[in-house]
């Protein structure tokens, strides 16, 4: 029976692999790869791909390569290489003893290009970029053959060598595959194999001034590494015939390309270009801003690797374009942190409560459990005294029905402390409530009496005398609408950024929170999960709101009000 719970959901890619295995393809090997281009930070959509590729390899006893698809030095850098490695590692995946780089195969790519030329399958085209574009045709009309299309293999071989040797300027000519300028698939209209770019590469430096295009390089990379199942996103479906064409013409090991739908999430954007815009135009503080859907952002927000892996498993894999509700991601982090996060008391919007019958000078330490979900986490001690803060929300002068919290003449429990009863409401000259006078029941120490009294409401609190101040960054969705790409004429997607998606508050916390290690997860009791930020300094903790607790009371209020 318990096996049933461990069965992971199936998907069409696993079905293909199972079938291949059953048919004895690839000698029973399963080999995948995760091939990021180091031109930006990884985001939650990449996490889906990482989990898929590494997950499938693991499930079928295969391997998964981490490979940097670094064929365009203009856009790539080591900064991105390093961030990608860090993120993949953090997610919990191990790519083995070596990492792979397309740039390690540049020599091999060149040899393959020479072979294509010799076989009459490629030619050097001296048309200008504009001419090439012009002659490519349109979606409805076929393209026109280049006037250089019929150069002899000997001539092409010589020209290709000159390209490699830097005899030409950028854009002066390209190497093209000789396929079919009238193909209904535009990718097959003599696609470019090599372009000239006198650009320094972050790994090969100035060794090369010609760089291979994706379509030529990618299948070869897969082939060289013995990849069996080359999993990519839907937009490459049109490229598959080309992927296959190169491998066939070259007569090398032929991996199978399989496409799946990339992840979309509500209330955020996922394209590298848009994420870059958010960073460059200052809508966020950087790639790791906790509102960003980047791995680095989610990590800083307080998401755990387990929660993201679980999310990836949960949402499944298919070929249908879809948009997953952000609430599903939030469910995953709540589920994980509920088991792990220590509970602490932090008041974010304080209301002073004076307990008039509690001795002026008295202080006492009270036991508080660290996590009701895990008794092994033990207890800690919290100082209590005559004046405490509670949340403003936890008091109402004229409460609606079913309000369990504090109100005039009513009793409420201070968690782990005492029952208190509101005797008096103190207001300032504007009528604003500034302070509550309450009495406590000494017999309720620990928050319980055996007299059958029903005190339904329980609130968190901190002792004013002992509390420390903490900076708490309250995050909401970065965008005001679930689909940030929906916009009126003349608007851009950044017009949908919510200027209030970050609110910084000064909160009052239990004293032991004064010194926190960054990246520690807590549950602020009755509020949500919070994670200490790297900006924390000794005595000056900073917390990021990871996600709020479910709040059925607030929901009920909103729907009835």
d(CA 298, CA 305): 10
Residue 80: how many CB atoms within 10 A of its CB?
A: 21
Q: Among 113-121, 463-471, 488-496, 547-555, which window interacts with RNA (CB under 7 A)?
A: 547-555
Q: Of the two residues 94 and 375, which places its CB atom closer to RNA in the complex? A: 375
**Site residues for RNA, window 195-234 (CB under 7 A)?**
195-197, 211-215, 217-218, 234
d(CA 128, CA 455): 82
Q: Whose CA is closest to 472, among 556, 401, 533?
A: 533
Q: Of the two residues 62 and 191, which places its CB atom closer to RNA in the complex? A: 191
Q: Of the two residues 31 and 415, which places its CB atom closer to RNA in the complex? A: 415
Q: Does 166 bind RNA (CB under 7 A)?
A: no
- Is residue 34 within 8 A of residue 65, CB to CB? The reply is yes
Establish whether 272 is a catalytic residue. yes
Q: How far is the CB of 360 from RNA (least distance, A)?
A: 25
- Is residue 411 within 8 A of residue 370, CB to CB? The reply is no
CA of residue 182 relative to chain centroid, distance? 42
Q: Whose CA is closest to 220, among 254, 175, 259, 178?
A: 254
User: Exactly one of 29, 457, 471, 480 binds RNA (CB under 7 A); which one?
Assistant: 457
Establish whether 189 is a catalytic residue. no
User: Exactly one of 3, 138, 398, 430 binds RNA (CB under 7 A); which one?
Assistant: 138
**Site residues for RNA, window 71-100 (CB under 7 A)?**
71-72, 74-75
Judged by CB under 7 A, the number of residues near RNA is: 99
Burial (CB count within 10 angstroms: exposed 0-12, middle 13-18, buried 19+), residue 131: middle
Question: Of 262, 319, 340, 380, which is the active-site residue?
Answer: 262
Q: Does 48 bind RNA (CB under 7 A)?
A: no
Token pair for 264: 């979309």
Q: Does 325 bind RNA (CB under 7 A)?
A: yes
- Is residue 469 within 8 A of residue 506, CB to CB? The reply is yes
User: Exactly one of 16, 21, 261, 433 binds RNA (CB under 7 A); which one?
Assistant: 261
Burial profile 266-293: b = 16 or more Cβ within 10 angstroms, e = fewer: bbbbbebebbeebbeeebbeebbbbbbb
User: Exactly one of 174, 177, 388, 390 binds RNA (CB under 7 A); which one?
Assistant: 174
**Site residues for RNA, window 277-316 (CB under 7 A)?**
314-316
Establish whether 262 is a catalytic residue. yes
Q: Of the two residues 24 and 499, which places its CB atom closer to RNA in the complex? A: 24
Residue 409: how many CB atoms within 10 A of its CB?
A: 8
Q: Does 364 bind RNA (CB under 7 A)?
A: no
Q: Whose CA is closest to 176, among 162, 194, 197?
A: 194
Q: How far is the CB of 393 from RNA (least distance, A)?
A: 9
Question: Of 272, 301, 309, 545, which is the active-site residue?
Answer: 272
Q: Active-site residues: which are they?
A: 37, 262, 272
């Amino acid at each position: 029976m318990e096996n049933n719970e461990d069965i992971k959901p199936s998907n069409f890619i696993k079905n293909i692999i199972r079938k291949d295995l059953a048919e004895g393809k690839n000698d029973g090997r399963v080999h995948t790869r995760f091939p990021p281009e180091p031109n930006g930070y990884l985001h939650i959509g990449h996490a889906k791909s990482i989990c898929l590729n590494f997950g499938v390899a693991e499930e079928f006893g295969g391997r998964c390569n981490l490979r940097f698809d670094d064929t365009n030095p203009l856009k790539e850098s080591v900064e991105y290489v390093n961030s990608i490695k860090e993120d993949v590692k953090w997610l919990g995946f191990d790519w083995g003893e070596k990492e792979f780089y397309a740039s390690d195969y540049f020599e091999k790519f060149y040899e393959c290009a020479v072979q294509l030329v010799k076989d009459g399958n490629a030619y050097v085209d001296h048309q200008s970029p504009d001419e090439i574009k012009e002659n490519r045709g349109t979606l409805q009309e076929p393209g026109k053959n280049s006037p250089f299309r019929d150069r002899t293999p000997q001539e092409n071989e010589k020209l290709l060598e000159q390209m490699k040797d830097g005899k030409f300027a950028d854009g002066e000519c390209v190497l093209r595959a000789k396929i079919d300028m009238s193909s209904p698939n535009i990718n097959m209209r003599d696609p470019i194999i090599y372009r000239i770019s006198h650009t320094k590469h972050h790994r090969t430096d100035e060794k090369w001034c010609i760089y291979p295009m994706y379509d030529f390089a990618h299948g070869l990379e897969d082939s060289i590494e013995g990849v069996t199942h080359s999993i990519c996103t839907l937009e490459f479906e049109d490229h598959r015939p080309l992927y296959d064409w190169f491998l066939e013409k070259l007569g090398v090991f032929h991996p199978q390309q399989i496409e799946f739908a990339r992840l979309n999430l509500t209330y955020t954007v996922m394209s590298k270009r848009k994420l870059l815009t958010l960073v460059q135009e200052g809508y966020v503080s950087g790639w790791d801003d906790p509102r960003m859907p980047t791995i680095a952002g989610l990590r800083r927000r307080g998401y755990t690797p387990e929660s993201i892996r679980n999310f990836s498993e949960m949402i499944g894999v298919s070929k249908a374009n879809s948009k997953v509700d952000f609430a599903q991601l939030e469910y995953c982090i709540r589920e994980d942190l509920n088991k792990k996060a220590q509970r602490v008391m932090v008041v974010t919007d304080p209301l002073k409560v004076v307990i008039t019958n509690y001795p002026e000078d008295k202080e006492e330490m009270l036991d508080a459990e660290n996590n009701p979900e895990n008794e092994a986490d033990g207890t800690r001690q919290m100082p209590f005294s005559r004046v405490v803060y509670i949340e403003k929300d936890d008091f109402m002068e004229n409460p609606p029905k079913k309000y369990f919290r504090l109100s005039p003449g009513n009793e409420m429990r201070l968690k782990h402390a005492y029952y208190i009863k509101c005797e008096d409401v103190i207001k300032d000259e504007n009528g604003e409530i500034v302070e509550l006078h309450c009495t406590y029941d000494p017999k309720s120490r620990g928050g319980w009496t055996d007299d059958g009294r029903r005190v339904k409401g329980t609130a968190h609190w901190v002792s004013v005398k002992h509390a420390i101040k903490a900076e708490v960054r309250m995050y909401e969705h970065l965008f005001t609408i679930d689909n940030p790409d929906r916009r009126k004429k003349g608007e851009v997607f950044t017009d949908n950024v919510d200027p209030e998606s970050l609110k910084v508050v000064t909160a009052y916390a239990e004293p032991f929170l004064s010194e926190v290690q960054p990246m520690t997860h807590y549950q602020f009791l009755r509020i949500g999960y919070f994670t200490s930020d790297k900006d924390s300094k000794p005595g000056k903790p900073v917390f990021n709101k990871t996600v709020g607790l479910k709040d059925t009371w607030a929901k009920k209020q909103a729907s009835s009000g």
